[in-house]
Structures are given as structure tokens and as C-alpha cells.
């Protein structure tokens, strides 16, 4: 979003055109610009603050006054906020402005508003649309003006938040994209474009994956015309230390393969590359804000289709690690992709810690709905740090158990393991499967984001992809892995 920064000038308020937003306290407290608006409107805002509707209005929300008296603005939004809102509440204020503005330019009269940079963050996060495939796309208006004390300082404070927001939008674009447009090859091409920001990008094609022994990953895509790939992204903004690693499942479309899904709702499986989408968004955010950290993002890109060459239930494949896997359900394919990518990432980079993300199981949605991602970890310190980061960013997450008792559910007489343990504890057995491909001594988190990747709308996102996880992972890296 193009944001224009202006110093507070109450005398200019009456001449501002388009939509205008001001802030007023629950008790009717007003800043310089709100007081000016109240004067122009002959005390209308004071009367508003004394009414029952204002008293009942939730903080972070606003009330609209159409065609405000003695002002050029087409409509005025009066936002309800305490003098010093939390970061989360400040973002809600900005999101309310984005919904109020719609496709029109908007001016935020913030004056001395505390956490003004977070207000802008909420505005930018919510002001998103994905209409590129409509014959006449109507993009969300890309212009906002903010009038505040210390406008240039506000611009500097907002810059790193804007970088992260660009990563969130990149993730949303990828996850929203239809599978005939975002093929595995197109996905790789879009990631190669991150080289312009300083990310080192490498694409491993099928011949290289075969040479590496990635039989688990390759078996998922062998029924598709789209070639399977692994994309390695490196942001080397730190010193000589080992990188932190992010690993993503990138199934650009999931029919379920031979274990085919029901037709109803299958169109939503364009979002089954959500884990890879989040990893990609984090890498863009880190590069845009020039993070002083070494981070590697590795994503496995495949398409799971039924075909005469497709993997069958009962087939046994060999992973890069060397473990054998009986594929009893080809719709439990994401863990097959991650198994090889996790092992490859550790073998090549020996990361100081590793987090994988995947829209992995329907079972996690049964457990947690669309409110929280499932968090599985072998390391209490890393897990606690991530949960703290997720809470700070308002991205719901809940720790789930891991235990050896669940391993028996994926035992099989045919191979070292099978790829699903059935309906009971489905998200846990998937995590237990992945843990077998994590080396001893590697701090690791598995994030099952099936419920949070694309439920929209939310406070910060319209209907469709949310970009969940980009902000939390960026904060985790900023707080714990930057020099």
C-alpha cells in the first residue's frame, strides 16, 4: 500500500476529501485532530461519546458518520480506543479503517496516537484482495494518508512492519492461487524472483532428487504431469553461524491420489501448499527488512494426482534417510514430502533449529478448529519461544503431545513404518511419523496449519488465505536468532 505521511495540521482537516478516520477514547477523550473534527461538526462527536451506542461499541471498532457537517470528507469513521492500546488493539483499529475505506483512498487522522505504526500495520494487513483472475479485477485502493505528529519517525517505525506485511501478502497470493496457475514450476519461478531481494535460491529437479534418494517425496508426484521439485532459499544476513531452518509442504493440488478425496470441497485443495507458502513469505519478509540472521527455507513442491503411474496403497518406498515406508493411504502424502525435505535440510545445513509447516491433517481441525495451529515439538525451550511469539502476533497456536506410545499406531509388518495410523490421534501420529526424520539433538517444531492457513475472513484478512505464521516466525527469528 502506498502511504503518504503528513505532519499533524488541524487547519487542513476540513479540506480533506475521500474517507477520513479519527480516534476517540471510550470516555470521549480527543486528540488535536479529533477535537477539530468535533468543532467543525458543532459538537457531534462529543454527543456521540455520551450516547449508549458508543458505550456498547467494542474497542477497536468504529462508528460511521456519513457526509460529516462542514467537512469535505465523504464519510467519517470514529474509532474507539484507549489512550494507549495494546499492539493487538492498535492493529484492529487499522483493520477497521481498511474495511471502512473499501476501495477508496482514506486519511487516518492519528495526531499523537500511541502505537500508530501498529495501526498502519493492521490497515495494510487487512487491505488485501485477490481478484487477478476476474475479467475486470477491482483492486483494493492502494492509497492511504496518515496525519501524525512526527510523521517521518512514524514512517521509520513502520518500515520493518511493512516488510513483514509484504511477506504475509506474498504468502496469501501463493495460497490463493489456483493450481492450474501455480504449478510446481510456476511456484519455483516465483521463489526465484526473491533473488532480487538478496535471497540465494536453488531449484533441485527430479533427476537431482532421485540421485539424493528422495523416494518418499518423489512417490507423491509420480502420477502428475507437473515435475516434483525442491526449492532451497538461503538468507545469509548473519555471521558464520549455522542457519535456522524452515521447511514447508508444497502440494500445489491434492486429489488424494489413488485414495481419492470426495469431490465436494476438493477445490479447496489448492491451499495444500500452505506450509511452503508461509516459508516463502517469511523468507521474503526477512530479506525485505534485511534481517541479521542466517535462515534457510526449504520447500518440497509436488502435485498429488491419480494416474496409471501413481503410487498405490500398499506400495513400499524408501526415504532419503534409508527408512522404508508402506504407503497405505496416498492421501496422507504431505508427511511423505516432509520426511525427505527434513532429512535433506539437516544433512546439508546442520541447522541450529528447525520448524516445518504443513496443512497436514483434518484431525487438527477437529481438535482445534480454525482458531489455533497445532504445535508439536521435541524441545521445550524452542516451543515456548515460538508460542510466545505467536501470542504476541495474535496468531493462535496450541501445543499438542508427542509420546512413544503413539508410535505403535504407525508400525507395520511390511516396512519400517506406515504413513498413517488411522483416525485415532491422527494429527499426533502424523507428527510422530515426522519426528522419525529429525536427528537427535536438533531442536524441532512441527506446525500443523490445516485449520489456520485459509479459513478467512479474520480480523486481519479477508476471505481466503490468511498468511498465518509469517508474523510469528519473523518475530521468533528477530527475538532469538538475529545477531
Q: Domain residues of the chain, as ranges?
A: 2-150, 165-480
Specify the fold of 2-150. Answer: 3.40.220
10-residue averages of pLDDT along the chain (483 residues): 95 97 98 98 97 98 96 98 97 98 94 98 96 80 90 98 98 98 98 98 98 98 98 97 98 98 96 98 98 98 98 98 98 98 98 98 97 98 98 97 97 98 96 98 98 92 96 98 93
Give dist(CA 326, CA 420) in Å, integer.
9
The SS3 of residue 354 is: strand
Domains 2-150 and 165-480 share a fold: no
Options 335, 372, 418, 436, the catalytic residue: 335
Specify the fold of 165-480. Answer: Aminopeptidase (3.40.630)
Q: Are 431 and 462 in contact, with CB atoms under 8 Å apart? A: no
Options 61, 261, 352, 399, the catalytic residue: 261
pLDDT of residue 212: 98
Which cell numbers in the block locate residue 291?
534481517
Q: Is 261 a catalytic residue?
A: yes
Strand ranges (DSSP E) for 137-220?
143-148, 200-204
Could you give the residue ranges of the DSSP H alpha helices within 234-362? 274-288, 334-349
pLDDT of residue 456: 74
Which cell numbers in the block locate residue 230?
525442491
pLDDT of residue 48: 98
Q: Which residues contact 477 (CB under 8 A, 6 or more apart)?
A: 244, 282, 286, 291, 293, 295
pLDDT of residue 140: 59
Q: 404-417: string of b/e by CB count within 10 Å (b at 16+)?
A: eebbebbeeeebbb
For the chain, give percent helix, strand, coil, nearest 5: 40, 20, 40
Give dist(CA 414, CA 325) in Å, integer.
8
Q: Is 19 a catalytic residue?
A: no
Looking up cell 504443513 gives: 358
Nearest to 80 by CA among 111, 56, 104: 56
Amino acid at each position: 500500500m502506498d502511504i503518504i505521511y503528513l505532519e499533524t495540521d488541524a487547519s487542513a482537516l476540513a479540506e480533506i476529501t475521500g474517507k477520513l478516520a479519527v480516534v476517540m477514547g471510550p470516555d470521549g477523550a480527543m486528540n488535536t485532530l479529533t477535537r477539530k473534527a468535533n468543532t467543525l461538526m458543532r459538537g457531534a462527536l462529543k454527543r456521540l461519546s455520551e450516547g449508549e451506542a458508543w458505550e456498547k461499541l467494542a474497542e477497536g471498532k468504529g462508528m460511521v458518520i456519513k457526509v460529516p457537517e462542514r467537512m469535505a470528507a465523504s464519510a467519517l469513521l470514529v474509532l474507539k480506543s484507549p489512550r494507549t492500546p495494546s499492539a493487538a488493539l492498535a492493529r484492529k483499529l487499522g483493520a477497521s479503517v481498511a474495511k471502512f475505506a473499501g476501495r477508496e483512498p482514506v486519511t487516518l487522522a492519528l495526531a499523537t496516537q500511541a502505537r500508530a505504526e501498529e495501526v498502519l500495520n493492521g490497515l495494510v494487513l487487512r487491505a488485501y484482495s485477490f481478484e487477478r483472475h476476474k475479467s475486470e479485477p477491482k483492486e483494493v485502493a492502494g492509497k492511504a494518508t496518515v496525519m501524525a505528529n512526527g510523521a517521518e519517525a512514524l514512517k521509520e517505525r513502520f518500515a520493518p512492519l511493512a516488510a513483514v506485511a509484504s511477506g504475509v501478502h506474498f504468502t496469501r497470493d501463493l495460497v490463493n492461487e489456483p493450481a492450474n496457475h501455480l504449478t510446481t514450476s510456476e511456484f519455483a519461478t516465483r521463489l526465484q524472483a526473491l533473488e532480487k531481494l538478496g535471497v540465494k535460491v536453488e531449484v533441485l529437479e527430479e533427476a537431482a532428487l532421485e540421485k539424493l534418494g528422495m523416494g518418499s517425496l518423489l512417490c507423491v508426484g509420480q502420477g502428475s504431469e507437473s515435475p516434483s521439485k525442491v526449492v532451497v532459499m538461503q538468507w545469509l544476513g548473519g555471521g558464520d553461524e549455522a542457519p535456522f531452518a524452515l521447511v514447508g509442504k508444497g502440494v500445489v493440488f491434492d486429489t488424494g491420489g489413488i485414495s481419492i478425496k470426495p469431490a465436494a470441497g476438493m477445490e479447496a485443495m489448492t491451499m495444500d501448499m500452505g506450509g511452503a507458502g508461509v516459508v516463502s513469505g517469511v523468507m521474503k519478509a526477512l530479506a525485505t527488512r534485511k534481517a541479521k540472521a542466517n535462515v534457510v527455507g526449504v520447500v518440497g513442491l509436488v502435485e498429488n494426482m491419480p494416474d496409471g503411474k501413481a503410487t498405490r496403497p500398499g506400495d513400499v518406498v524408501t526415504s532419503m534417510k534409508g527408512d522404508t515406508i508402506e504407503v497405505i493411504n496416498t492421501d496422507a502424502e504431505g508427511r511423505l514430502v516432509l520426511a525427505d525435505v527434513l532429512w535433506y535440510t539437516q544433512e546439508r545445513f546442520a541447522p541450529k533449529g528447525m520448524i516445518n509447516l504443513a496443512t497436514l491433517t483434518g484431525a487438527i481441525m477437529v481438535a482445534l478448529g480454525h482458531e489455533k495451529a497445532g504445535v508439536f515439538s521435541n524441545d521445550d525451550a524452542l516451543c515456548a519461544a515460538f508460542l510466545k511469539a505467536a501470542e504476541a502476533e495474535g496468531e493462535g497456536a496450541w501445543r499438542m503431545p508427542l509420546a512413544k506410545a503413539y508410535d505403535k499406531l504407525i508400525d507395520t509388518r511390511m516396512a519400517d513404518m506406515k504413513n498413517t495410523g488411522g483416525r485415532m490421534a491422527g494429527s499426533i501420529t502424523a507428527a510422530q511419523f515426522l519426528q522419525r526424520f529429525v536427528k537427535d539433538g536438533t531442536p524441532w517444531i512441527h506446525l500443523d496449519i490445516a485449520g489456520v492457513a485459509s479459513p478467512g475472513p479474520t480480523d486481519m484478512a479477508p476471505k481466503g488465505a490468511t498468511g498465518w505464521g509469517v508474523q510469528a516466525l519473523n518475530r521468533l527469528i528477530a527475538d532469538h536468532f538475529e545477531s
